[in-house]
Amino acid sequence: MSDSRLFRILYYLLDRGHATAPELADKLEVSQRTIYRDVEALSSAGIPVYAEPGRNGGIYLLHGFTLDRAFLSDNEKQDILASLQSIPATGYTSGEEILTKLSALFHVNTENWLEVDFSRWGKSAGDNAKFELLRLAVIKHKEVKIVYENTRSEKTERIVQPLKLSYRSKEWYLKAFCLKKQDFRIFKLNRISEPELLEQTFVPMPYPETISSPQSPYPRIALLFSKEIAYRVYDEFDETQIEKQKNGDLIAYAEMPIDAWLIGYLLSFGTQVDIIEPKYLKKILAKQALEIYEKNKP
């Protein structure tokens, strides 16, 4: 019998209030007979869980039951508190209050060893206020009016239905349904301005995840970096994307959109990057560099 499965059943019932045996069996990928055995084990351990037969029956927890702190190990308590320590970085101020309450509940003195700040230098107030507004919109299922600037520096006003905030590759993104485009879109938070929380509510839809897609929508890029800039390469690429050469130079492989951001990013390396593929990207970069030279030559 798996202890972790018993806890998953318990947490599921705490969250939902009740469930059917087929529902739990499907979720945990075991037989219904196993679920009933697990329910008996929980009951024997003193958990007020019971099963009601019949068409409208199911598996229930006694109303008002709460999970005692003893069900968490010391390591699990520390992991929970460590996770909560990063919450204030998002601008969610209630995280500190939750951290204080749980520390008292667990009888654990949290050491202030972790500091996370997702905001940009000099813009923490604006970034955190924007994050808090979008967080509320996601939780309360309220539409938001935004002004968004795309990679071509074009600004458009849109009304979106926020579904999820996502942090990836050192940047915050908003996954939402765009009413203007009538489709799902991902918006970079740094490019969102003038966010306004609207009173109009919506029924949230699951954002279509494409992680399992076998093909990337972006072209494969190979970049050769000189060894002198290796620290930046390891900062910004995963080790699995980097191939070290005998002379110390590095080749980095990635799949990304070829847009104004990428051109600016490559220009920031100056002469210490060479484009291996795609070949046409070399012409785009060279043209941009020439235009910069012509505009700024003495």
Per-residue pLDDT band at 211 (split at 50, 70, 90) = very low
pLDDT score at 61: 78
For residue 169, the model assigns a pLDDT of: 61
Instruction: Quote the pLDDT of residue 117.
Output: 57
143: confidence class by pLDDT, cuts 50, 70, 90: very high
Residue 45 phi, psi (nearest 5): -85, 0
Rounded to an integer, the average pLDDT of 260-268 is 88
Of 2 and 281, which is predicted with more confidence? 281
Question: Does 207 or 224 have the greater pLDDT score?
Answer: 224
Confidence of residue 279 (pLDDT cuts 50, 70, 90): very high
pLDDT in tens, 223-235: 999 999 998 888 8
Mean pLDDT over all residues of the chain?
79
Residue 144 has pLDDT above 90, yes or no: yes
Residue 286's pLDDT band (cuts 50, 70, 90): very high
* Whether pLDDT at 162 is above 70: yes
Residues 6+ apart with CB under 8 A from 107: 69
* Closest to 153 (Cα-Cα) out of 260, 258, 257, 256: 260
pLDDT score at 7: 74
Considering only residues 112 and 57, tell me which one the structure prediction assigns the higher pLDDT.
57
Between 70-79, 109-118, 121-130, 237-246, the lowest mean confidence (pLDDT) is in: 109-118
Lowest mean pLDDT among 155-164, 201-210, 266-275, 277-286: 201-210
Of 13-22, 133-142, 150-159, the range with the highest mean pLDDT is: 133-142
Residue-wise burial string across 269-279, b where 16 or more C-beta atoms lie within 10 A, e elsewhere: eeebbebeeee
Over the stretch 88-139, which tens digit does the pLDDT of each residue have? 555 545 555 555 555 555 555 555 555 555 555 555 556 778 888 998 899 8
Average pLDDT over residues 55-77: 66
Percent of the chain with pLDDT over 70: 73
Which of 270, 223, 275, 268 is CA-nearest to residue 250?
A: 223
Q: What is the pLDDT of residue 96?
A: 56
pLDDT score of 167: 77
Are 140 and 187 contacting, i.e. CB atoms less than 8 angstroms apart? no
